[in-house]
């Protein structure tokens, strides 16, 4: 079979996307409530952040605006996983009920087809929230602005989001082996809340774990370091695009390995 | 025997949890990891401050408070909203309504088994672990009894709130959005993410008039207070009891009124 090109996949993606949006629009109340719920989540996150910093002016040498930068950065880099890869949350049900087999019979990439089925618009609220936070802290710290810096921050944001996507793919894919992957997914989902803290607060063992095994340090800390404190940034910060690409490919392989292994339920 | 029929449901619930042993183990490990992360974050936060005691809470107090809040969350979160919402969507709710038992009671006892097994498998070990790790910062006296009593009422209030929110699903057909809103509001305003003592005064005053602080803040402050004044105990438990009754009445009446609304497609 001929390998299909990028254009082919882009065309298909938008076709599936349009279908998904149409079906979402038929549940308008659900859509509006979910969007409000998402705004609530971000707002509550910000309130906890603010309450915390009212009592403690700095954490481990990181001031209010620097922490706000990390926070905004993590919010933006968590958006793509929310918008584009939300179907991972349903994977365990598809696998459990046997519905998953339908994705295996399409003449296109299974992973691509599965993930493109759902586009979660409400994640865009988070993007807006994150952008405002990031720009506000950027101005307050006085980082200045050059086109090169913009390019750098975009590249770093993309690589940071790839890390979270990789984590979620791998967590969701565990259901091919252990049936109920909810707790694995939930754990990753909860741990990502700690991505907004500098990795230096952990002891060496956990620093190692959060860099190599559950690389949440790449969601905000390492990439932000390259912008906030370029002098302190280690090689890991500059390498984060390569590292995230590696983790993404790894998670893709794990996911596909599970999908190929999948034998259906017989129904 | 009325109680016997309820306890049968509880037993079924316990057996169900142990059926999914692997996911249970994953959950316990995940929880442990989460608690360790929490420890590092808060010790870094306290280390950055000049004072040892902030808002009347030392580091060990805050740690115990937040760790047990997480344990309590795992104990109480029964995903009732999802259960009711999914039953409404699929139409299965009709079968449950036909059962010779009040729906509100049925769901509660159905999930009570999960509460029992979580109490034994996660709550108790967490409690013992944190008591040992903080070298007896939890005073082992009459406050334990108050705490237990308070948690029981907290479970009841939490259940009523979940049931009310679940009932809203009858109108909205939205589960995710409604549930996330409830979760965010309850966790923030109950002091589960950040102790109420850290909040600014005006916010504290508002929170005191809401039922949410009875779920996490009330039991935990009773526990942390080694030598409680009779007055504080009475007012805290009394407030909880009042909220217990109010929320129960609201959830019952709301359910009764809403049941007329129900539309089930086929089923």
Cβ burial B143-164 (10 Å sphere, 16+ → b, else e): beebbebbbebbbbbbbbbbbb
3 state SS of B57? strand
Can you tell me the distance from the alpha carbon of A56 to that of A45, in angstroms, rounded to the nearest whole number?
A: 17
pLDDT given for residue B267 in this prediction: 43
Evaluate whether residue A122 is within a structural domain. Answer: yes
Burial (0-12, 13-18, 19+ Cβ within 10 Å), B3: exposed
Residue pair A90/A173 in contact by the 8 Å Cβ criterion: no
* Residue B44: closest C-alpha in chain A: A201
Of B173, B168, B172, nearest to B90 by C-alpha is: B173
Evaluate whether residue B267 is within a structural domain. Answer: no
Is residue B54 within a helix (H) or strand (E), and if so which, with residue range? Answer: strand B53-54
Evaluate whether residue A267 is within a structural domain. Answer: no
Can you tell me the distance from the alpha carbon of B81 to that of B176, in angstroms, rounded to the nearest whole number?
A: 9
CB spacing of B188 vs A58 below 8 angstroms = no
Structural domain total, chain A: 1
pLDDT in tens, A179-200: 677 878 888 888 888 888 888 8
Confidence of residue A2 (pLDDT cuts 50, 70, 90): low
* Residue A40: closest C-alpha in chain B: B181
3 state SS of A62? strand
Collect all residues from A whose CB is shorter than 8 A from any CB in B: 27, 29-30, 33-38, 40-41, 44, 47-48, 51-52, 54-61, 178-180, 182-184, 186-187, 190-191, 194, 197, 201-203, 206
Residue pair B174/A122 in contact by the 8 Å Cβ criterion: no
B243 lies in which domain range?
Answer: 2-261
Can you tell me the distance from the alpha carbon of B209 to that of B204, in angstroms, rounded to the nearest whole number?
A: 9
Please give the ipTM for the structure prediction: 0.82
pLDDT given for residue B138 in this prediction: 81
pLDDT in tens, A85-144: 989 988 888 888 888 888 888 888 889 889 988 888 888 888 999 999 999 999 998 888
Of A242, A167, A68, A187, nearest to B30 by C-alpha is: A187
Length of chain A equals 267
Evaluate whether residue A266 is within a structural domain. Answer: no
Which residue shows structure tokens 């298909």? A12
Interface test with A, best of B181, B203, B207 (most A CBs within 10 A): B181
A175 lies in which domain range?
Answer: 6-261
Q: Is B47 on the interface with A (CB under 8 A)?
A: yes
pLDDT given for residue A153 in this prediction: 92
From A35, A61, A197, residue closest to B41, measured CB to CB: A197
pLDDT in tens, chain B (267 residues): 578 888 888 888 888 777 767 777 877 888 888 888 888 888 888 888 888 888 888 889 999 999 999 899 988 888 888 888 888 878 888 888 888 888 888 889 888 888 888 888 889 988 988 888 888 778 888 888 999 999 999 999 999 999 999 998 888 778 888 899 999 999 999 988 889 999 999 999 999 999 999 999 999 999 988 777 888 899 999 999 999 999 999 999 999 988 887 766 554
Tokens standing for residue A150 = 């913009």
What's the predicted TM-score (pTM) here?
0.84
Q: Are strands B53-54 and B57-58 parallel, antiparallel or unpaired?
A: antiparallel
Can you tell me the distance from the alpha carbon of A8 to that of A109, in angstroms, rounded to the nearest whole number?
A: 12
Is residue B53 within a helix (H) or strand (E), and if so which, with residue range? Answer: strand B53-54
CB spacing of B188 vs A201 below 8 angstroms = no
Helices (H), B20-79: 21-47, 59-76
- DSSP assignment of B172-228 equals H--SHHHHHHHHHHHHHHTTSSS-GGGS-HHHHHHHHTSSGGGTTHHHHHHHH-SS-
pLDDT at A15 over 50: yes
Evaluate whether residue B266 is within a structural domain. Answer: no
In the A/B pair of chains, how many CB contacts fall below 8 A?
114
Of A126, A153, A155, nearest to A138 by C-alpha is: A153
Evaluate whether residue B223 is within a structural domain. Answer: yes
**DSSP at B121:** I
Evaluate whether residue B98 is within a structural domain. Answer: yes
For residue B44, list chain A residues with Cβ-Cβ distance below 8 A: 59-60, 197, 201
Can you tell me the distance from the alpha carbon of A73 to that of A163, in angstroms, rounded to the nearest whole number?
A: 13
Burial (0-12, 13-18, 19+ Cβ within 10 Å), B194: buried
pLDDT given for residue B69 in this prediction: 93
Within 10 angstroms of residue B15's Cβ, the number of other Cβ atoms is 11
Evaluate whether residue A138 is within a structural domain. Answer: yes
What is the pLDDT of chain A when averaged over all its residues? 87
pLDDT given for residue B78 in this prediction: 81
Evaluate whether residue B216 is within a structural domain. Answer: yes
pLDDT in tens, B114-170: 888 888 888 998 898 888 888 877 888 888 899 999 999 999 999 999 999 999 888
Can you tell me the distance from the alpha carbon of A152 to that of A244, in angstroms, rounded to the nearest whole number?
A: 15
Evaluate whether residue B65 is within a structural domain. Answer: yes
Angle made by CA atoms A90, A91, A94, in degrees to the nearest 5: 90
Evaluate whether residue A116 is within a structural domain. Answer: yes
Evaluate whether residue B43 is within a structural domain. Answer: yes
Structural domain total, chain B: 1
CB spacing of A33 vs B177 below 8 angstroms = yes
pLDDT at A1 over 50: no
Can you tell me the distance from the alpha carbon of B92 to that of B86, in angstroms, rounded to the nearest whole number?
A: 8
What angle in degrees, to the nearest 10, is found between the helix axes of B21-47 and A182-191?
Answer: 10
From residue A54, give the alpha-carbon distance in Å to each of A45, A87, A123, B254: 14, 38, 28, 39
For residue B55, list chain A residues with Cβ-Cβ distance below 8 A: 55
CA atoms in the 13 A half-sphere facing the CB of A244: 24
Q: Is B90 on the interface with A (CB under 8 A)?
A: no
Cα distance from N-terminal residue to C-terminal residue, chain B: 32
Q: Using the Cα atoms of residue A53, residue A54, residue A60 and residue A65 in order, give the sign of their dihedral.
A: positive
Evaluate whether residue B70 is within a structural domain. Answer: yes
Evaluate whether residue A253 is within a structural domain. Answer: yes
pLDDT in tens, A233-257: 788 888 889 999 999 999 999 999 9
pLDDT given for residue B266 in this prediction: 52
Which residue shows structure tokens 């010779």? B100
From residue B206, give the alpha-carbon distance in Å to each of A33, B40, B200, B213: 25, 31, 10, 10
Q: Is B172 on the interface with A (CB under 8 A)?
A: yes
């Amino acid at each position: 079979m001929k390998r299909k090109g990028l254009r082919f996949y882009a065309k298909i993606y938008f076709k599936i996307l349009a279908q998904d949006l149409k079906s979402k629009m038929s549940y308008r109340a659900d859509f509006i409530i979910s969007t409000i719920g998402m705004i609530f989540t971000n707002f509550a996150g910000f309130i906890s952040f603010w309450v915390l910093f009212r009592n403690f002016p700095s954490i481990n040498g990181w001031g209010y605006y620097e922490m706000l930068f990390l926070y905004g950065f993590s919010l933006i880099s968590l958006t793509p996983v929310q918008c584009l890869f939300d179907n991972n949350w349903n994977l365990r049900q598809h696998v459990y009920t046997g519905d998953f087999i339908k994705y295996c019979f399409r003449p296109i990439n299974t992973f691509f087809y599965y993930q493109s089925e759902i586009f979660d618009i409400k994640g865009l609220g988070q993007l807006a929230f994150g952008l405002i936070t990031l720009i506000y802290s950027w101005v307050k710290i006085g980082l200045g602005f050059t086109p090169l810096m913009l390019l750098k921050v975009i590249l770093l944001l993309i690589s940071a989001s790839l890390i979270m996507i990789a984590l979620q793919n791998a967590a969701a894919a565990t259901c091919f082996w252990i049936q109920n992957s909810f707790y694995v997914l939930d754990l990753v989902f909860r741990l990502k809340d700690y991505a907004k803290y500098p990795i230096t607060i952990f002891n060496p063992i956990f620093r190692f774990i959060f860099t190599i095994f559950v690389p949440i340090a790449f969601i905000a800390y390492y990439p932000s370091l390259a912008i906030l404190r370029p002098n302190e940034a280690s090689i890991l910060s500059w390498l984060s695009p390569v590292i995230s690409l590696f983790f993404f490919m790894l998670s893709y392989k794990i996911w596909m390995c599970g999908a190929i292994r999948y034998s259906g339920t017989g129904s | 025997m009325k109680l016997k029929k309820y306890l049968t449901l509880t037993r079924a619930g316990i057996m169900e949890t142990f059926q999914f042993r692997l996911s249970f183990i994953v959950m316990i490990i995940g929880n442990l990891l989460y608690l360790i992360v929490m420890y590092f974050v808060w010790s870094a936060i306290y280390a950055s401050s000049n004072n040892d005691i902030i808002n009347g809470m030392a580091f060990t107090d805050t740690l115990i408070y937040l760790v047990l809040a997480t344990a309590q969350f795992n104990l109480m979160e029964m995903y009732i909203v999802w259960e009711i919402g999914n039953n409404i969507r699929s139409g299965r709710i009709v079968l449950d309504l036909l059962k010779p038992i009040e729906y509100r009671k049925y769901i509660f006892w159905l999930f009570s088994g999960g509460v029992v097994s979580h109490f034994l498998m996660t709550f108790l070990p967490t409690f013992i672990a944190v008591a040992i790790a903080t070298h007896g910062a939890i005073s082992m006296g009459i406050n334990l009894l108050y705490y237990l009593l308070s948690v029981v009422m907290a479970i009841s209030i939490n259940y009523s709130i979940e049931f009310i929110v679940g009932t809203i699903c009858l109108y909205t057909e939205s589960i995710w959005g409604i549930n996330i809103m409830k979760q965010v509001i309850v966790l923030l305003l109950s002091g589960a993410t950040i102790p109420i003592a850290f909040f600014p005064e005006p916010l504290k005053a508002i929170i005191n008039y809401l039922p949410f602080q009875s779920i996490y803040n009330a039991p935990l402050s009773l526990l942390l207070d080694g030598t409680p004044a009779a007055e504080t105990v009475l007012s805290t438990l009394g407030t909880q009891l009042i909220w217990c009754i109010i929320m129960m009445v609201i959830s019952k009446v709301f359910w009764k009124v809403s049941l007329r609304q129900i539309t089930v497609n086929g089923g």
